[in-house]
Amino acid sequence: MVDVHNASEVAWTILGLVAGLKTQYGKGTLSKVLKGSKSKYVARAASEAKEVYGCLSVFSEEQVDGLVQQLIDAGYLEVLQVGTMFEVNVLGLTDKGRQTLDQHLLIDMTLPKVYSAEFTSGGDVPILDKEVLDEYYQVKVELSKLIKKEGELKEQIKKAMTDNQFSNIHTENMDLFCKKVERVLYPKDKVEALVPEELLEKIRVLKETVVLVAKLKVKEEVRSE
């Protein structure tokens, strides 16, 4: 594991990646490897760098790219042009970078702040009153039953309405409408395969959230939520 709060350790990891790869890659590819990108375009590089693949996943890809750029600006890495028919920009270690890596010399660089919450397994640690957990359990059980029953009733109603070509039903208690809705979906794997990487970089948005998952230990007819 890389200590993402230690600038020198982060820098050594990046320099070590460049030094250890059999094939030279550009800054974008190296940043994706360090971030742990699932893009098929970095599969080859990722397979060569299994030990550090995703080691900087706590940062965004843009932040990792910025760290690599800092090492370029400071003279530890250099941009090289390779190729005969057409030139491709790749990264290589400078003499300064190689010496720093070999001797583990300290490196001063600015690290992005890490705001992600860290959680540990609580097991049976009593952080809440037992009554709260018991009440939550009962609510989840009843809610699971209701959701299951709601799904069954909705399917019966939809089938009856479509079979009889009724678009709406009005009762004293509610109004029901049955209609076809089309949604345009863009599968993530196809987008990444067909959209140019430079465009993906411009539109990619990383959102983090905290979710609570409860697996109920009840009878089989109640689904886990």
82: which strand partners? 88
Residues 99 and 21 in one domain: yes
Task: Determine if the pTM surpasses 0.85.
Answer: no
Residues 88 and 145 in one domain: no
The total number of structural domains that make up the chain: 2
Span 41-67, mean pLDDT?
90
Give the pLDDT confidence score for residue 38 in this predicted structure: 86
Conformational region of residue 36, where left means phi above 0, alpha means psi within -120 to 50, and beta covers everything else: left
Asked if 7 and 107 touch (Cβ cutoff 8 Å), the reply is yes
Give the pLDDT confidence score for residue 124 in this predicted structure: 67
Residues 77 and 166 in one domain: no
Give the pLDDT confidence score for residue 225 in this predicted structure: 45
pLDDT in tens, 3-29: 888 999 999 999 999 999 988 899 999
**E strand spans, the chain:** 77-82, 88-93, 168-170, 175-177
Q: Which residue range(s) make up the domain with 128? A: 117-225
